[in-house]
């Protein structure tokens, strides 16, 4: 053959086609080879038709491959779709504009689209296609969809259950039959993964109710028109009681002590969850003694001819493990010692799982890290381990400038510069300026959490503050020196000294020399406090408690003299789906020893006490137009907090508040408490917690508003 020619191709280059064929100029004619070349060109997937011919010339024959290229896709159109928009469908298929039009590829993408609809329970959806050929070897592709009706679950049939009613078992399942509000809820939707989890839930339920041999089969799913019928078969088996319970193997304590960790013997019936928790409890007990690789195997023995199960927890402790090295990585700013001083585990000491968990919790409470990854790696010997702590730091310095409105300060502007991890040493440094129609504040604070490299915290603050109360104006300057030291687990004791000089002016004549006097008053006071704080984090906690008790004595010189006791309790309860229930209570008593100014007495009302009431609305006076500070107060708050956008720190809440203020001669009357309830949102932003909450007064008195909105930037209870 003299030469090989390729004709008819417009987009595909000659060289690309020549690379897949074997026929070359100078070869002898070979029909089998030409047939193979024809097939090879077809397999490229770019051509609708390929023909081979031979043209005889005087100086030799010419082999000609004539191809007809497939058109390219100019445009993709979707019609008939309502469940998905065009963009969603196009994102899930692998055909795009400019693609070669390939029928097999089109059919594969039709199945992809059908799969999308099946996931939304449109099992009867059909997908067709249409090709509109255009000049220049192009074409428009259209997917034509007939969605049909959404197929829903008509019936879930449970067969074989004798011990429990159908309704009881169906309540355990996430999958449900179509209900009246199915258009609003997901009732009747088929989620195959969710249905598999339902089978596991039913199995676990039976195993926790004594039916140790219960089996739940895979569901039979039948499609019938627009409906789905599901059949689940259950083999309950016998119900087993718990017989003897024992511990064997490598003992680290007496048998009686180890059995105190186990709770399955307290159950009348076999319970798989309790057994699993017993295994974890024993494993943790051994791990706390350094046996990090301890294994616990529950051996279950069924008694012959009796529906009784005897249990024996067999323990293998292996070698005790020592931390050979603790490696900290990822900290580019925070100094190693700031991290290490929070750890409850140390190099060359025995492994302890509870101390390791506490160490991670301590690091999260610092709020310096976005993520903390802990790995235990083999050491240089079988009884040694390397602990690797990889931290991902987050910004701890903030500069904020803005304006806002609160019930206390009205309209204000503020600027704050804060660094919570100053120079990577864990120190907290803050400057704040705030001015508004009701107040003006300049403040500075500095906290060293580990003075002299021991857990002795030291804090220094100074301020210049002017506030316009309804009855008088107060202009004060002062500062505080504070020390704290850990006294017990999660517990710190504090002692502080504060000095304040307040200038009182513009006193309402009705209050002059009765509630407050004009002039300059110097307050020199000392305070001792005890704080218990086991919250998982300081901002947006989900579990733990914070309790505080303090005693302040003013009269170490100066014009003001009093003794004040306050106490506060708060507890966070984690619930399902990331929700949290919070209970808070607070109370106080102040006794005048020399002179007790009004601003040191108790008032309630506002976003940090009784929401719905204005700031200082709740006082010891029965006349809302003439508030008088009290010498006693109590308040209680309950909140249900739920995530709205959890990753962004946006939370919603509903709340109930109650409390009251009493004069010195009055007794605290829990039956005469003011009450409010409401709702709100909180955003834990880089500027700090931003709160918008609406309270409604439940025991509204004559002349009072029904409630009010509250807004603030700053801490909560």
- pLDDT of residue 686 exceeding 70, the answer is no
3-state SS, 351-396, equals: CCHHHHHHHHHHHHHHCCEEEEEEEEEECCCCCEEEEEEEEEECCC
Distance CA 673, CA 689 (A): 29
Mean pLDDT of 18-30: 83
Residue 402 confidence (pLDDT) above 70: no
Please tell me the distance from the alpha carbon of residue 574 to that of residue 434, in angstroms, as a whole number.
36
**Is it the case that residue 415 has pLDDT exceeding 70?**
yes
Architecture per CATH, domain 601-717, reads as Beta Barrel (2.40)
pLDDT for 44 equals: 82
Contacts of 254 (CB under 8 A, 6+ apart): none
Q: Tell me the backbone φ, ψ of residue 573, rounded to 5 degrees.
A: -115, 110
Q: What value, to the nearest 5°, has the Cα angle with vertex 604 and ends 495 and 689?
A: 70
Please give the distance of CA 126 from its chain centroid, rounded to a whole number: 40
Domain at 322-393: CATH architecture? Roll (3.10)
pLDDT digits (tens, 9 = 90+) for 588-639: 999 999 999 999 999 999 888 999 998 888 999 877 777 889 999 999 999 9
Q: pLDDT exceeding 70 applies to what percent of the chain? A: 96
Mean pLDDT of 462-487: 93
Integer angstrom CA distances of residue 501 from 371, 469, 524, 564:
45, 17, 9, 19
pLDDT value of position 151: 86
Q: Is the pLDDT of residue 1 over 80?
A: no
Q: Do the domains at 3-69 and 601-717 have one common CATH topology?
A: no
**Strands 384-393, 322-329: pairing kind:** parallel
Q: Name every residue whose Cβ is closer than 8 Å to that of residue 423 and which is 6 or more positions away in sequence.
A: none
Q: Distance between CA 588 and CA 585 in Å, rounded?
A: 11
Measured CA to CA, the distance from residue 70 to residue 95 in angstroms comes to 14
In terms of C-beta distances under 8 Å and separation of at least 24 residues, what long-range contacts does 435-440 make, across chains too? 436/409, 436/410, 436/411, 436/412, 437/409, 437/410, 437/411, 437/412, 437/468, 438/408, 438/409, 438/410, 438/412, 438/467, 438/468, 439/408, 439/409, 439/412, 439/465, 439/466, 439/467, 439/468, 440/465, 440/466
Taking the domain 152-235, which CATH number applies? 3.10.20.310
Tens-place pLDDT, residues 187-231: 778 888 889 999 999 999 999 999 999 999 999 999 888 888 999
Q: Among residues 487, 478, 485, 570, which one has the least CA distance to residue 525?
A: 478
Beta strands 126-134 and 456-468 are: unpaired
pLDDT at 716 over 50: no
Average pLDDT value for residue range 294-313: 94
Segment holding 158, helix H or strand E: strand 152-159
Distance CA 384, CA 441 (A): 56
| pTM of the model as a whole | 0.64
Count Cβ atoms below 10 Å from residue 636 Cβ, excluding itself.
18
Q: What is the pLDDT of residues 54-107, one digit of tens each?
A: 887 777 788 888 888 888 889 999 999 999 999 999 999 988 888 888 888 899
**Residue count of the chain:** 717
- The Cα–Cα gap between 127 and 32 comes to 41
Residue 715 has pLDDT above 80, yes or no: no
Pick from 382, 391, 378, 384: nearest CA to 343? 391
The more confident residue out of 607 and 326 is 326
Span of 121-135, 401-415, 580-594 with lowest mean pLDDT: 401-415
Q: Is the pLDDT of residue 414 over 80?
A: no
Q: Calculate mean pLDDT across residues 388-410.
A: 73
Topology of the domain comprising 241-316: Ubiquitin-like (UB roll) (3.10.20)
DSSP line for 462-508:
EEEEEEE-SS-EEEEEEEEEEEEEEEETTEEEEEEEEEEEEEEES--
Mean pLDDT confidence for 162-168 = 93
Query: Is the confidence at residue 407, as pLDDT, over 60?
Result: no
> Picking from 244-253, 307-316, 391-400, 634-643, which range would have the lowest pLDDT averaged per residue?
391-400
At residue 130 the predicted structure's pLDDT band, cuts being 50, 70 and 90, is very high
Burial class (CB in 10 A: 0-12, 13-18, 19+), 631: buried
535 close to 516: Cβ distance less than 8 angstroms:
no
For the chain, the structural domain boundaries read: 3-69, 72-146, 152-235, 241-316, 322-393, 469-569, 601-717
Cα dihedral across residues 159, 160, 164, 169: positive or negative: negative
**pLDDT, average across residues 315-324:** 94
pLDDT of residue 413: 75
d(CA 615, CA 470): 10
pLDDT bin (cut points 50, 70, 90) of residue 378 is very high
706: pLDDT strictly greater than 60: yes
> Residue 405 has what pLDDT?
52
Give the separation between CA 51 and CA 37, rounded to whole angstroms.
Answer: 10
| pLDDT tens-place string over residues 516-531 | 889 999 999 999 999 9
Residue 400 vs residues 27, 421, 434, 445, 461: alpha-carbon distances, Å: 81, 17, 11, 16, 20
pLDDT in tens, 427-441: 999 999 988 777 788
2 touches 61 (CB < 8 A): yes
Q: Which CATH architecture has domain 72-146?
A: Roll (3.10)
Q: Where does 322-352 have alpha helices with state H? A: 336-340
- Third-level CATH fold of 3-69: Ubiquitin-like (UB roll) (3.10.20)
Average pLDDT over residues 277-299: 94
């Amino acid at each position: 053959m003299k030469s090989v020619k390729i004709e008819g191709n417009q987009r595909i280059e000659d060289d690309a086609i020549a690379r897949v064929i074997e026929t070359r100029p100078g070869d002898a004619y070979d029909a089998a080879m030409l047939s193979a070349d024809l097939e090879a060109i077809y397999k490229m997937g770019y051509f609708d038709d390929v023909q081979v011919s031979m043209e005889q010339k005087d100086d030799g024959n010419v082999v000609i491959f004539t191809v007809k290229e497939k058109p390219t896709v100019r445009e993709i159109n979707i019609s008939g779709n309502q469940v998905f928009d065009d963009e969603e469908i196009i994102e899930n298929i692998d055909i795009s504009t400019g693609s070669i039009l390939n029928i097999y590829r089109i059919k594969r993408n039709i199945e992809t689209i059908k799969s999308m609809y099946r996931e939304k329970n449109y099992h009867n959806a059909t997908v067709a296609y249409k090709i509109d050929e255009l000049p220049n070897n192009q074409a428009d592709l259209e997917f034509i969809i007939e969605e049909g009706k959404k197929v829903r679950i008509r019936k879930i049939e449970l067969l074989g259950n004798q011990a429990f009613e159908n309704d009881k078992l169906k309540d355990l399942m996430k999958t449900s039959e179509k209900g009246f509000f199915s258009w609003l809820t997901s009732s009747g939707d088929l989620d195959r993964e969710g249905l598999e989890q339902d089978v596991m839930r039913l199995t676990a339920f039976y195993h926790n109710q004594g039916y140790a041999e219960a089996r739940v089969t895979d569901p039979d799913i039948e499609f019938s028109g627009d409906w789905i019928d599901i059949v689940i078969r259950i083999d309950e088996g016998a119900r087993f009681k718990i017989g003897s319970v024992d511990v064997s193997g490598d003992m680290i304590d007496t048998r009686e002590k180890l059995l105190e960790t186990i709770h399955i013997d307290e159950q009348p019936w076999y319970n798989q969850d309790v057994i699993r928790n017993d295994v974890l409890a024993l494993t943790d007990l051994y791990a706390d003694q350094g046996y990090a690789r301890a294994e616990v195997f529950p051996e279950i023995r069924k008694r012959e001819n009796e529906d009784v199960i005897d249990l024996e927890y067999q323990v293998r402790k292996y070698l005790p493990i020592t931390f050979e090295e603790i490696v900290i990585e990822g900290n580019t700013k925070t100094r190693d010692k700031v991290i290490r001083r929070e750890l409850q585990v140390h190099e060359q000491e025995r492994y302890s799982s509870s101390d390791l968990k506490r160490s991670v919790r301590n690091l999260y409470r610092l709020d310096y890290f976005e993520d903390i990854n802990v790995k235990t790696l083999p050491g240089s010997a079988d009884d040694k381990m390397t602990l690797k702590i990889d931290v991902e730091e987050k910004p701890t310095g903030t500069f904020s400038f803005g304006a806002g409105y609160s019930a206390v300060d009205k309209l204000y502007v503020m600027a704050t510069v804060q660094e919570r991890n100053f120079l990577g040493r864990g120190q907290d440094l803050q400057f704040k300026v705030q001015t508004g129609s009701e107040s003006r504040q300049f403040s500075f604070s500095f906290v060293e959490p580990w003075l002299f490299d021991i857990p002795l915290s030291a804090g220094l603050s100074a301020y210049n503050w002017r506030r316009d109360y309804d009855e008088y104006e107060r202009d004060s300057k002062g500062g505080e020196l504070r020390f704290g030291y850990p006294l017990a687990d999660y517990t710190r004791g504090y002692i502080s000294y504060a000095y304040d000089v307040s200038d009182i002016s513009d006193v309402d004549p009705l209050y002059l020399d009765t509630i407050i006097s004009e002039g300059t008053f110097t307050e020199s006071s000392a305070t001792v406090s005890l704080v218990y704080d086991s919250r998982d984090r300081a901002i947006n906690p989900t579990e733990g408690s914070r309790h505080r008790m303090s005693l302040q004595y003013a009269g170490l010189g100066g014009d003001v003299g009093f003794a004040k006791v306050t106490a506060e309790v708060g507890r966070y309860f984690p619930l399902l789906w990331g929700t949290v229930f919070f209970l808070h209570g607070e109370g106080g008593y102040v006794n005048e020893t020399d002179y007790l100014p009004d601003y040191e007495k108790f008032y309630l009302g506002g976003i940090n006490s009784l929401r719905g009431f204005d700031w200082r609305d709740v006082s010891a006076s029965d006349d809302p137009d003439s508030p008088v500070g009290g010498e006693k107060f109590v308040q209680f708050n309950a909140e249900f907090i739920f995530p709205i956008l959890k990753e962004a720190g946006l939370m919603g809440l509903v709340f109930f508040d109650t409390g009251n203020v009493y004069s010195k001669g009055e007794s605290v009357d829990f039956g005469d408490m003011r009450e409010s309830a409401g709702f709100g949102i909180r955003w834990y932003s880089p500027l700090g917690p931003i709160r918008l909450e609406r309270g409604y007064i439940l025991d509204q008195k004559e002349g009072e508003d029904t409630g009010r909105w509250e807004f603030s930037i700053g801490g909560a209870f």
